[in-house]
Amino acid sequence: MLQQTLALFHDAYRELNSKRMFWVALVISLIVVVAFVLIGVTSDGYLSLMGMRLPLPLPFTRAELYKIAFSNFGVGLWLTFIGTVLALVSTAGIFPEMITGGAIDLYLSKPIGRLRLFLTKYAAGLLFVTLQVLVFCTASFVVIGVRGGLWEPRMFLAVPLVVTFFSYLFCICVLLGLMTRSTVAALLLTMLAWFVIWGLDRAEIILLLGRIYAQDQIATQDLVVKQRRGSLHAFEERLAATQPTAAQQQDLADRRQRLKEAEEETVNAASSARNLELAHKVFYRLKTVLPKTRETNELLDRAMMTPQELADFDAHRRPGGAIRTRPPRPRAPGGGPAWADPEVVAEAQAEMRVRPISWIVGTSLLFEAVVLSLAAWIFCRRDY
């Protein structure tokens, strides 16, 4: 049984290797690693490129710079975006080509179960990504250690995280490949599904920003109402001791009108906050049943950076931003949209970073298990 499984892995490797995509992706990975060699931080805190000092001051130490570069550029841009696209292009044809090119007849003629054949082929696709990420992390670990003096073994956490991230999309690609029997259709529909997941995530973030901003606006309006009510009562007490003039009576009417407007704005802000909170809950629950691609990637930040480093990074990358705790500090109305407010963005980021790993990875793997079970059922029950 083990010999048959190894033979299947070898056959899958030869199939993937014949497309040359493995080596193309590997070369690009090494080019990305070379970028870590070229950048650095001078003794006075400026970015350097190939040893040349650039007029760009950095609020990070050399070690922090390499952590951020590895997590956000190496993993966030290369491995989980460009590299993932290349990996999907390479592995999308594993099942469609096997069931449409006559190869399935040869496999089924051998004493091997369909389920084991399916799982072995699926694991071979994941192995393609595992080797790519492992090579990239090993090279990055050595280069960053020598260049920046940062020997950080937690970089290798990128291997299981990126492979898990890829498996969310690969299971969809496998199911669509078995249903359509077309590599191109499976690839395009998987990219569409990835876009839908991304769009749902963006919508949830925007609603989260809106909810936090609306809650801050309630605090602001409550303060305005309190100030205007106190001012009105003090003015009424002064008028009660004298005979008010026409101008004072008009001023009193204006003060009452402004208080009424502030109370109405408070009611409207509370209503808006409730609506945004409800909408955010709906999208959050929709995300619960789907894979969390962004959150899975950001687990690497949690592992590699301390809470204080994350807070400092957020404050530096958003001009004027700062991590703060609730209750929010009231802000003057008319401060701009929620996604443009550095404090709101920082608070939303802090809230998202404390979401439990069981929700991020556990529910995503449950989604993968359901999709993979359906694909395995189709593969095992279909007549070829």
**Helix boundaries (H) for the chain:** 2-18, 21-38, 62-68, 83-91, 94-100, 103-108, 114-148, 158-180, 183-240, 246-288, 293-304, 307-317, 342-352, 357, 363-381
Cα 297 from chain centroid (whole Å): 6
How confident is the model at residue 22, as a pLDDT? Answer: 72
Q: How far is Cα 360 from Cα 339, in angstroms, rounded to an integer?
A: 23
Ranges 33-47, 187-201, 286-300: which has the least confidence: 33-47
pLDDT at 122 over 80: yes
The answer to whether the beta carbons of residues 225 and 273 sit under 8 Å apart is: no
Most confident stretch, 45-49, 142-146, 154-158, 306-310: 154-158
Q: H or E segment at 53? A: strand 52-57
pLDDT at 14 over 90: no
- pLDDT category at 333 given cuts 50, 70, 90 is very low
Q: Which two tokens stand for residue 131?
A: 């080797």
The mean per-residue pLDDT over the stretch 293-312 comes to 78
Query: Phi and psi for 53 in degrees, rounded to 5?
Result: -75, 125
How confident is the model at residue 328, as a pLDDT? Answer: 42
How confident is the model at residue 329, as a pLDDT? Answer: 44
pLDDT at 361 over 60: yes
- pLDDT category at 42 given cuts 50, 70, 90 is confident
Please give the residue that has the higher pLDDT: either 149 or 340: 149
pLDDT at 87 over 50: yes
Q: What is the mean pLDDT of the chain?
A: 81
Instruction: Using CB atoms within 10 Å of the CB of residue 238, give its burial: 0 to 12 exposed, 13 to 18 middle, 19+ buried.
Output: exposed
Among candidates 286, 339, 346, which has minimal Cα distance to 312? 346
Q: H or E segment at 55? A: strand 52-57
Domains of the chain by residue range: 2-198+364-381, 203-352
How confident is the model at residue 2, as a pLDDT? Answer: 65
pLDDT at 163 over 80: yes
Give the model confidence (pLDDT) of 240-278 as tens digits.
Answer: 777 778 887 888 888 888 888 888 888 888 888 899 999
What pTM was estimated for this model as a whole?
A: 0.79
